[in-house]
Structure 1
Amino acid sequence: MTQFADVVIDDHFVRVGGKSYAINKINSVEIRGLTKKGSSAYPLLWVLAAVLLFAAIAGEAKGVSIFLAIIAALFGLRSWSKRHSVTTYSLFLVTSSGEAQAFASQNGSEINLMRQRIESAIAKAA
């Protein structure tokens, strides 16, 4: 038996939350990735970082200037990090009654491990 965040896989069932899929009824397993472009809509953080940076440069007290520069850098990094794309991987189980999305995660290796475990259980059942 293998257990992930909300998924339990054994030789007979895949249990996702409150739903169970019988291993011998699963025809195929598919992983799909959906990449959403990151948001660059954080202008307030950029403006705040710029204002703090200018205040740090114009400041006469060295300790305050360093503190403002560090805060400006943190705001800039936070805004920059939100620009990156995020991929969500979905595990789909295809059964004779149709297709169902069993689990979604941003952790691609976790989804691949689930797929391998399910395929292994299907091979044992065959």
Structure 2
Amino acid sequence: MLQTTWIALILGFWSSLYLLDAFLKTQKWSRRQYHDFQERTGLSVSICQFRWYSTWFNRTFLRLGQWKPNFMRLWFTVGVGFALLAMVLSMFLLTLLVINTFRKQPVDQQVLTPVVSHMLKLI
């Protein structure tokens, strides 16, 4: 199947789901039951988003956080540091890519590819 067919199928699915949600919210005969259903299950639908809220895992996450608090603090601090380093590195690489594009100097092996260029190729 073509990529555009998959994109059309996904967009059609999300559009149908969103329109069904909007329809059920606006009809008098279904508004109350649909709202109660969403409150009970924790489901909500918005544009290109399907959310599920639950409290089932709260105790598990609370126990994990209390298990070794110093380890967890270190783990998340290292994660934040890695994320910051990765963002700075990717901004540097993208800036070099833009500079090389304006200078019309092609890059032999591209390390980081902006997503926008792939989206433009699909259209």
Answer 1 or 2: which has greater strand percent.
1
Higher helix proportion:
2
Give the TM-score normalised by the residue count of structure 2: 0.24
